Amino acid sequence: MFIELDLQSETPLYTQLIDQLIEGIASGELKPGEPLPSVRSLAEDLGINLHTVNKSYNLLKQEGFLQVHRKKGVIVQPDGMPGVTQEFEEKLRRTLRSLAAETAVRGMTEEAFVQQSRSIYRDILTNRGGEQR
């Protein structure tokens, strides 16, 4: 799986990593039970510190997206992904709220906003998002 980090971005590296891994799972590129690269090797591949990768893995494990298997190493959660928790719903609402408000102020219509949401959701499911193709 192809992962690209933006070292200049304000969003922490570990957050970017988490996002990309979740996208990988959403798109089906990373399948349940599939092993992920070891902390060290991924860190090396990405040119970042192993602790940063570790933090991402740990947070994802903690939320139930990954499992840390003795010997197998880190694998994608094989026993069903976590559902829509209350925390997630709140985070979703808060984030959409902020986005929608600015969107509205800037004059983007409801329909445009909704369409944007829809098309991005689809992009993700259909493997490989709306960037370079």
Partner DNA sequence: GTGGTCTAGACCACC
Partner DNA sequence: GTGGTCTAGACCACG
Residues of this chain that interact with DNA (CB under 7 A) are: 12-15, 38-41, 48-52, 54-55, 57-58, 68, 70-71, 73-74
> Quick check: 126 binds its own copies (CB under 8 A)?
no
**Environment class of residue 24 by beta-carbon count within 10 Å: exposed (0-12), middle (13-18) or buried (19+)?**
buried
* 132 vs 126: CA distance, rounded Å: 14
Q: How far is the CB of 59 from its own copies (least distance, A)?
A: 10
By CB under 8 A, residue 95 contacts its own copies: yes
Pairwise CA distance, residues 98 & 28, whole Å: 29
Helix (H) / strand (E) element for 73: namely strand 73-76
Is residue 65 within the footprint of its own copies (CB under 8 A)? yes
Nearest distance, CB of residue 38 and its own copies, angstroms: 17
Among positions 11-30, residues that touch its own copies (CB under 8 A) are: 13, 19, 22-23, 25-27
Of 78 and 121, the one with the shorter C-beta distance to DNA is 78
Report DSSP letters for 92-119, one per residue: HHHHHHHHHHHHHHTT--HHHHHHHHHH
Q: Does 86 bind its own copies (CB under 8 A)?
A: no
Measured from the CB of residue 119, what is the shortest distance to DNA in angstroms? Answer: 29
Q: Cβ(76)–Cβ(106) under 8 Å?
A: no
| Residue 8 binds to its own copies (criterion: CB under 8 A) | yes
